[in-house]
Amino acid sequence: MTSPLRLGIAGLGTVGAGVVKIVAGKADLLSARAGRPVEITAVSARSRDKDRGVDLSSYAWEDDPVALATRDDVDVFVELMGGEAGAAKAATEAALKAGKDVVTANKAMLAIHGQALAETAEAAGHVIRFEAAVAGGIPVVKGLTEGLAGNDILRVMGVMNGTCNYILTRMEAEGLGYNVLFEEAGKLGYLEADPTLDVGGIDAGHKLALLASIAFGTKVDFEGVELEGIDRVTLEDIRHAADMGFRIKLLGVAQRSGRGLEQRMRPCLVPATSPLGQLEGGTNMVVIEGDEVGQIVLRGAGAGEGPTASAVLSDIMDIARGDRISTFGQPAASLVTPIRAQSAVAAPYYLRLELEDKPGALAKVASVLGDAGVSIDRMRQYGHEDASAPVLIVTHKAARNAIDTALEALPKTGVVLGDPVALRIEAD
């Protein structure tokens, strides 16, 4: 009989426990599909005594994940601890140096240290697989590295953080403000220990940086991702967007143009009738455009025990079958340092302003926009009962730097109250 593939799992939280359940409960199915048995030999976590809803008694226990990663009876180190550095990085490096393959769900570690780890793995003839690090159960990494390998990728975009999509869609459906739903998401356990990772766009930015590396053959450049969270999106913005046929999403976009590589994770308006516009709740969606295949849409659960554990198993099964693929789809040594685009491809923008209710206010706003090179497509002023008036403007296509110039100048007019809000409109 072919020798079993032996797993060492570090991290027994929701995802780790889910992986144990699949391996233990579907042993015959996995063996048939992999052509060899897949089994767990050892595990590691912070506490031995915690009830995780799975039987761990038949597995060796290591308190130190580095010790687990270097055990002789472990072929694949499965890193599910999380964290940019610390124990996760140390154990991953130890596993590679000890001759192990690695499967991880750790987007932060790969977004920051992915290039170095990939070089270490490939120099030793081993692999790092990370399907579970991006969009939960959606097979987007495999889609880019394998299914679309014959395409030049033109653009990758999507909703990659279910918590943000949950908050935004609940704001619209229930008429509740951001702060109320932020608290609700926390109580439901949807937020990271550091909630800014979710609502600040950082978590989704990590994922976008990884997909951009695969799509465009570049070294992972998380620092090049423009980040803006959803905390400034108001219920009024959501309602106004709906009036104009749009919905607001925290949207990640990576594309390469003559300006260089654009990577941005920002709240955007998308057509309400588009696949992205119809996305509800905690679901994720990734849209990929290739020169040969055109546009494809991948949609599914972006987090949770079952979907993420399923993604982990997909990587484990590839290794069990003997499939060997470079971490980011091509040898790490061939990845190039990306040239960061100094300005994004022009697009229409939604602007929300609060104006003092006095003659000439709109004229001053129009003058500032014109001086910045921003032309108005349509404008709407809402009724008011006090000394200020909300005004919404949709621009024609404009460069982001022109919008930023206008945003800096508008408060100096003496008629704009508070900080203006600008959201890009992704029409396609």
C-alpha neighbours within 13 Å on the C-beta side of residue 304: 13
Q: Among all chains, which residue has been given the structure tokens 């949807």?
A: 190
Annotated catalytic residues are 207
Distance CA 316, CA 102 (A): 9
**Backbone phi and psi for residue 378, each to the nearest 5 degrees, phi listed first:** -150, 160
Q: Determine if residue 299 is left, alpha or beta; phi over 0 gives left, psi from -120 to 50 gives alpha, anything else beta.
A: beta
Judge whether 15 and 312 are in contact, CB under 8 Å.
Answer: yes
Beta strands, E only, 302-427 = 349-356, 376-381, 388-395, 416-425
**Phi first, then psi: what are they for 334, rounded to 5°?**
-90, -10
> Do 288 and 298 touch, CB atoms closer than 8 A?
yes
Strand, helix or coil for residue 60 = strand
Alpha helices in 98-133 (DSSP H): 107-123
Give the tokens for residue 348. 């229409």
224 phi/psi in degrees, rounded to 5:
-85, 0
Task: Answer for the pair 69, 100: CB distance below 8 angstroms, yes or no.
Answer: yes
Distance CA 179, CA 198 (A): 14
